């Protein structure tokens, strides 16, 4: 992605709140979502975030964006973004440029097309046909491996292959998702043969980045790694909720099942890769580690194959909510520390001929940093449940309790540039049914 006029840090908008340095959604961002007015029976349609408002794409006359963006606008006005995603990078870029010009200070204000975000409700932005979750943070993989395999925390394939598994698309929900505590089997008590059955007692969150596929590939064709990002529409936040006790009992030999398929929460806004172009970062691999096989390597990888996106997890207990206390930050990490890049995930996913479709979702895997306090899950922060974390009100957690709300946030920040935010992905644990 090349820097163009939409990235100019001096641009301001006639939407005043977009000019606040603390806003997630300046005019240089323009992420996409699907929304309608809260509590209404309106049709869901495409929208773009600008300050604290949603630009209602269905309220825009195609003549206001002109050619070649009008065809892309018609696709983005629909109740899912799949067709717009399928249109490809040229269409995405054309509409982004037209909307940037439409929203700039000095342009004719389109007040009729604004809906306050506080008055909107959001839907899953695309029909997600398939969902694949990766395991791309070496810090998370090593930390978790050390808890279960002290003698071999990192399995020998990890540094060679982007590990992943196919998840459950039907239980993906947008921010605000509420779900009952999952039930299932857990490891038998010492001296018994029969496993226990009941609600999970070790429920956890996982801080991840979601990757929405734009243009897909034909079955049997592989996407070359140096062309992979042209097939990615954008990024969102993703919480891969995990029942650790169910997982410990079921994951061998085929991997996660009931421990993962009960809920996944994503943020409503998809930040395009074009918006993130100024926030690229070098992709780093220790010289002592195996270097990527040729199908996972390309010239620009080391220079700018990563994304500098700060990630944060916040936790609000039922008591905090009842007493009017805000969610408390429990960890921070950065997507640039991922061991495998976005392009490598896409290339590996398709190298065997697997076809991706517009709207398919990839999860990055838990994004933990190199420091213990940068862990992206309670499993790591609590040392496997052995050391509780203490919240500002004195409450403690090793794993999540009923009524807990977990909030994920993300932002790309560089000196001299506006903050490109992702909004929030919030989800709440309800009692088991």
The catalytic residue positions are 140
Q: Does the annotation list 322 as a binding residue?
A: no
Spatial contact of 3 and 277, defined as CB atoms under 8 Å apart: yes
Residues 6+ apart with CB under 8 A from 41: none
Spatial contact of 315 and 406, defined as CB atoms under 8 Å apart: yes
Residue among 287, 406, 271 nearest 342 (CA): 271
Q: Does the annotation list 168 as a binding residue?
A: no
Residues 6+ apart with CB under 8 A from 395: 317, 319, 320
Q: Does the annotation list 208 as a binding residue?
A: yes
Q: Does the annotation list 295 as a binding residue?
A: no
Q: Does the annotation list 149 as a binding residue?
A: yes
Residue among 72, 19, 84 nearest 358 (CA): 84
Spatial contact of 379 and 397, defined as CB atoms under 8 Å apart: no
Q: Does the annotation list 247 as a binding residue?
A: yes
Q: Does the annotation list 121 as a binding residue?
A: no
Q: Does the annotation list 56 as a binding residue?
A: no
Spatial contact of 229 and 165, defined as CB atoms under 8 Å apart: no
- Residue given tokens 């403690």 in the structure block: 396
Q: Does the annotation list 240 as a binding residue?
A: yes
The annotated binding site is made up of 133, 135, 149, 206, 208, 240, 247, 251, 260, 264, 366
The annotated binding site for substrate is made up of 135, 149, 247, 251, 366
The annotated binding site for Mg(2+) is made up of 240, 260, 264
The annotated binding site for Ca(2+) is made up of 133, 206, 208, 240
């Amino acid at each position: 992605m090349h820097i163009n006029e939409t990235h100019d840090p001096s641009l301001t908008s006639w939407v005043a709140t977009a000019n606040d340095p603390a806003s997630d959604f300046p005019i240089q961002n323009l992420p996409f979502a699907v929304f309608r007015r809260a509590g209404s029976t309106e049709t869901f349609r495409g929208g773009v975030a600008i300050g604290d408002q949603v630009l209602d794409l269905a309220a825009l006359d195609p003549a206001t964006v002109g050619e070649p963006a009008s065809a892309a606008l018609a696709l983005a006005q629909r109740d899912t973004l799949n067709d717009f995603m399928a249109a490809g990078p040229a269409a995405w870029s054309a509409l982004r440029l037209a909307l940037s010009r439409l929203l700039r200070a000095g342009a004719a204000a389109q007040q009729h097309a604004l809906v306050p975000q506080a008055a909107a409700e959001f839907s899953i932005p695309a029909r997600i046909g398939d969902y694949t979750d990766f395991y791309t943070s070496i810090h998370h993989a090593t930390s978790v491996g050390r808890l279960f395999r002290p003698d071999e925390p990192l399995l020998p394939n990890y540094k060679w292959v982007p590990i992943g598994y196919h998840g459950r698309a039907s239980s993906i929900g947008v921010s605000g998702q509420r779900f009952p505590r999952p039930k299932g089997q857990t490891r038998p008590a010492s001296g018994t043969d029969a496993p226990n059955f009941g609600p999970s007692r070790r429920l956890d969150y996982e801080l991840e980045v979601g990757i929405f596929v734009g243009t897909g590939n034909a079955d049997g064709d592989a996407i070359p790694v140096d062309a992979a990002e042209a097939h990615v529409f954008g990024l969102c936040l993703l919480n891969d909720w995990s029942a650790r006790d169910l997982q410990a009992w079921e994951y061998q030999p085929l991997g996660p099942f009931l421990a993962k398929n009960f809920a996944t929460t994503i943020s409503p806004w998809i930040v395009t890769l074009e918006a993130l172009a100024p926030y690229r970062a070098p992709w780093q691999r220790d010289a002592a580690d195996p270097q990527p096989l040729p199908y996972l390597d390309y010239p620009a990888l080391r220079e700018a194959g990563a994304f500098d996106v700060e990630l944060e997890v916040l936790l609000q207990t039922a008591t905090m909510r009842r007493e009017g206390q805000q969610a408390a930050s429990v960890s921070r990490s950065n997507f640039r520390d991922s061991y495998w890049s976005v392009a490598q995930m896409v290339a590996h996913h398709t190298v065997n001929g697997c076809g991706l479709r517009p709207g398919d979702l990839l999860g990055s895997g838990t994004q933990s940093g190199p420091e213990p306090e940068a862990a992206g899950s309670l499993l790591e922060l609590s040392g496997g449940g052995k050391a509780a974390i203490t919240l500002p009100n004195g409450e403690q957690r090793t794993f999540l309790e009923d009524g807990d709300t977990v909030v994920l946030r993300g932002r790309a920040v560089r000196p001299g540039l506006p903050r490109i935010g992702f909004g929030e992905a919030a989800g709440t644990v309800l009692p088991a049914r």
